[in-house]
Chains A and B, each alone.
Chain A
Amino acid sequence: MSPLAPLALSTFLFCTGLYGVMARRNSVLVLMSVELMLNAVNINLVAFQGLFYPGDINVSGQVLALFVIAVAAAEVGVGLAIVLNMFRNRASVNVDDVDLMRW
């Protein structure tokens, strides 16, 4: 199979996620977009593992993708906790409202 297919998908998902990070107002949606980006990366990893390193004993691509999943989970947990805290303090999860660190 051509590597282009998984790569294209991966890239597309990544850029979509990127768009979502920048364009969404709700923090939770931003987090969702971040998950999208991470998943795109996972596809990449697995595709490369399968295509170019099939005999790898370490099965590096899949294992790394596993790790990414784990870390993404952790990150989502903490991220949502932060969003919750933000909501509690400011009664808003709008990212536009979190701009204290400005001039």
Chain B
Amino acid sequence: MSSFLLLAAEGLEPFTGEPSALVRSSWIIVVLPLLSAAVIAAFGRLMPMKGAEVGIGTLAVMWVMALGVGWETFTNPVYFYENSLAWAPLGGGITLELGMLVDGLTGMMLVLVTTVSLMVHVYSREYMHGEERFTYFYAMLSLFTFSMLVLVLANNTLQGVVGWELVGLCSYLLIGFYWQEKSNADAANKAFLTTKFADVGLIVGVIILSSGVGSLGGEFAETPFNLTLTNQAAVAGALPEFAIVAGMLFIFLGCVAKSGQMPLHVWLPDAMAGPTPVSALIHAATMVTAGIFLIARLYPVLAQSLTVMNIVAVVGVITLFLGGLVALVQDDIKKVLAYSTVSQLGYMMAALGVGSYTAGVFHLFTHGFFKALLFLGSGSLIHAVHSNNMSDMGGLRKYMPHTFWTFVVGSLALAGFPLTAGFFSKDEVLVGAGIWSDNGLVMGDVVFWVGLAGALVTTFYMARAIFLIFFGEHRGAHHDEHGHDGHDGDDAHAPEPTTVVDEQGVERPVPAGGAGGGGDHHGDPHESGRQILVPLVALALLSFPVGFSGGFLWTNVGGSEAMNFETWTATEVIDHAQYPFLADYEPWGEVVDGEFVKPASDDHGGDGATGEGEEASAAPLASGVNAAPLAAAAEDGGVSNHVLHGAPTFHLEVFVPALLAFIIGVGGAFAIYGRGRPERDPTLHMGGFTTLLERKYYLDDIGYAAVVVPVRDHLARWTSDSSNDGRYAIDKLVAGVGTLTKRLSLSTYRTLDQKVIDGGVNGAALSAAWWSERLKRIQSGDVQRYAGALVAGTVVLVLVIAANA
């Protein structure tokens, strides 16, 4: 593999200025959607737009603020602002923090989340118009945005976990929006349970990692969950290896499910049962990227272990390729996009696994935009033809031109057509893989070639989709069963609807003639309304510029070398992070007495290649140093020990294969589908291979047989039996205790109560009666005797007194 040339960027000076008021108050961006969700939930029904105005308004404000934060972090590279309040001491000396961390990565995620969320909010006004639970939908959207932002702005892993779980919850609620149909409820359950299963790993990993951090003492032991401290400890090489490997592996387990890596991706396609705006927001741009985001946040820790990185890369590679393959046999447009998402997430994960931090994050950023665009566009299509299936579409180019060209733009971006955002980001991934392989690590090669193959597959299925949907003859005039686009489920059939939502989204009652009459309302499909189209157009337009900041043409279009995507998302720690398993590793900074001490010297990532000149062999190149260009080092198979690779440059050896893949893919798809005959789809006629793909590699079946059946049928029944059934030990034990108690109480009653206590009490009474029986005879009524007694007593008294006197 030929080496890659890199332009050495200017030294990355960490931002030492004063954060602006906007950044300091960026927690408001997080809290606003929570408030808006509460307001919508409480008052939404009373408002004229049923809560949508609150949601859209709030998001517009947030979007502006997020843009401000993004701009500030972009123009001040290696930005860093952290603020937290010690919320509660957890005991054991640990303090629970509630805080925010604003750096470039945060700014980027803020821009992404708020932009896509705003687009989805606007889109949903028309898409979900007339829906009974419209207000609930908007409240949930706001709540979801809040949850995601909690994760994005978290400055410690615990808070991140909180946001993670909240996001999972909101996704469950939103996927199961049409819960009346059992398959939709099942899909929501599947999503929730799969991610929850992996969340165990996440939490265990967080705990292991924090215990590793806490073992360093001092401020590390006080707030071991803090991200900055964790990364600093990792970069200083001070974290114990067990914490790194075990912690990151478990955390990665959580990310596997959340970010749809194989084999825990199974929930993502089923999650298409939710409304399309939900899919766009959650499953394209935000929630599924949470896993990638977390790994990116903890990247310095990940970078300490080659094992973990390899595992990450392997999982990513498998996902990206196999996920893409399944998309070839899907008829449901949303499923195509879902598997495409799975595949692209695999790209991001693979990028992170081969040391391309910037590339992975960059792809996350761009993918968010164009996948959201694609999902929204598919929503527009579904809205028009009232069916998810591509076999019901066709020839829609004539009827829905705007949807058409925005969808095409999105697909081009996804496929990596030159100059689109996807092109630059996918390029970055491959370049990063190449650099990794230059370091002698074979995983780089694997990712590079599989990534290329994946690009080919991606292009192919997207082209297939486009040709099937927009070209040829419209096949939808015969549809008559799907009257409601509410059930966007896989093969889900709604019960015979009593109302029908037509193109304008207005609910109308189905005429009494039944199913057949439904067709009359939907003649030819027509273009969707403005509120659907505007977000589409906006996202389409964005699909170009968002990619430039990270691409190699940035400087050509007026960007500066010192401010590009890489500098935007860099942090000081990442800038100096090095891979311990590569040559000439030197930890940056050290942990002394529980405090992180930066190295005194000014040169960033100071190791071998200082200004004195490079060594001949294995001269690592600092990204921030005014070192000689890599050209010299390249002949030596120069390696880069640093995480950041510097500003991206043009690589012909990547560009050409990618372009070839694109052309082959489009050409092949056109050849097969161009004339719009889906029945001749060869992917559906590949026999066993098709079955394998259609059955999604039997992962669902394996999961069902291996997990669901044993737990649900056997484990649950055994547990219930052993506690409830009287034949089992537990019940016997309980019954035995009961019998013993009864016997004990009976004996207590008989002896203690009746004989002793009652005997005592009765005996007292009886003795009183006995004595009284005898003593009463004193009162004989005989007065003379009384007198005698009186006198006798007197005599006695006198005697006594006389004796004593």
Interface residues of A (CB under 8 A from B): 18, 21-23, 30, 95-96, 98-103
Contact = CB atoms under 8 A, between A and B. Distances in A.
A18 B781 CA distance: 19
Contacts of B787: 18, 21-22
B520 interface: no
B782 A99 contact: yes
Nearest to B772: A103
Contacts of A18: 787, 791
22 contacts: A18-B787, A21-B784, A21-B787, A22-B784, A22-B785, A22-B787, A22-B788, A30-B784, A95-B783, A95-B784, A96-B782, A98-B783, A99-B780, A99-B782, A100-B781, A101-B779, A102-B779, A102-B780, A102-B781, A103-B776, A103-B779, A103-B780
A18 B784 CA distance: 10
B419 to A, nearest CB: 126
A98 B784 contact: no
Contacts of A22: 784-785, 787-788
A99 B784 contact: no
B777 interface: yes
Contacts of B791: 18
Interface of B: 776-777, 779-785, 787-788, 791
Nearest to A24: B784
Contacts of B783: 95, 98
A52 B788 CA distance: 33
Contacts of A98: 781, 783
A99 to B, nearest CB: 3
A102 to B, nearest CB: 3
Contacts of B776: 103
A99 B781 contact: yes
Contacts of B788: 22
A12 B785 CA distance: 21
* Nearest 7 pairs of A and B residues by beta carbon: A99-B781, A102-B781, A103-B776, A22-B784, A22-B788, A101-B781, A103-B779
Contacts of A99: 780-782
Nearest to A15: B791
Nearest to A30: B784
A22 B790 CA distance: 11
B782 A103 contact: no
A100 B779 CA distance: 10
Contacts of B779: 101-103
A56 to B, nearest CB: 28
Contacts of A21: 784, 787
Given A22-B785, A99-B782, A101-B781, 10 more contacts: A21-B784, A22-B787, A30-B784, A95-B782, A100-B781, A101-B779, A102-B779, A102-B782, A103-B777, A103-B780
A22 B782 CA distance: 10
Contacts of B780: 99, 102-103
A23 B781 contact: no
A44 B780 CA distance: 34
A22 B783 CA distance: 8
Contacts of B782: 95-96, 99, 102
A100 B781 CA distance: 6
B784 A23 contact: yes
A101 B779 CA distance: 8
Contacts of B781: 98-102
A16 to B, nearest CB: 13
Nearest to A23: B784
Contacts of B777: 103
A71 B788 CA distance: 23
Contacts of A100: 781
B496 to A, nearest CB: 98
A51 B780 CA distance: 44
A99 B776 CA distance: 14
A102 B785 CA distance: 12
A30 B785 CA distance: 13
Nearest to B784: A22
A41 B250 CA distance: 118
A13 B784 CA distance: 18
A12 to B, nearest CB: 15
Nearest to B781: A99
B796 to A, nearest CB: 15
A11 to B, nearest CB: 13
A21 B787 CA distance: 8
A98 B780 CA distance: 10
Contacts of A96: 782
A22 B792 CA distance: 12
Contacts of A23: 784
A95 B780 CA distance: 12
A69 to B, nearest CB: 23
A96 B784 CA distance: 9
B134 to A, nearest CB: 95
Nearest to A97: B781
Contacts of A101: 779, 781
B789 to A, nearest CB: 10
A23 B781 CA distance: 15
A21 B791 CA distance: 11
B350 to A, nearest CB: 111
A103 B778 CA distance: 9
Contacts of A95: 782-784
B116 to A, nearest CB: 105
A50 B776 CA distance: 48
A18 B546 CA distance: 135
B37 to A, nearest CB: 89
A55 B779 CA distance: 49
Nearest to B789: A22
A23 B782 CA distance: 11
B639 to A, nearest CB: 121
B802 to A, nearest CB: 16
A21 B782 CA distance: 12
Contacts of B784: 21-23, 30, 95
Interface centre among A95, A96, A99, A103 (most CB of B within 10 A): A103
Nearest to B782: A99
Nearest to B788: A22
A19 to B, nearest CB: 10
A79 B777 CA distance: 27
A32 to B, nearest CB: 14
A96 B782 CA distance: 6
A81 B433 CA distance: 140
B529 to A, nearest CB: 110
Nearest to B780: A102
Nearest to A21: B787
A100 B780 CA distance: 9
B773 to A, nearest CB: 9
Contacts of B785: 22
Contacts of A102: 779-782
B775 to A, nearest CB: 9
B405 to A, nearest CB: 122
Nearest to A96: B782
A102 B776 CA distance: 8
Interface centre among A18, A30, A101 (most CB of B within 10 A): A101
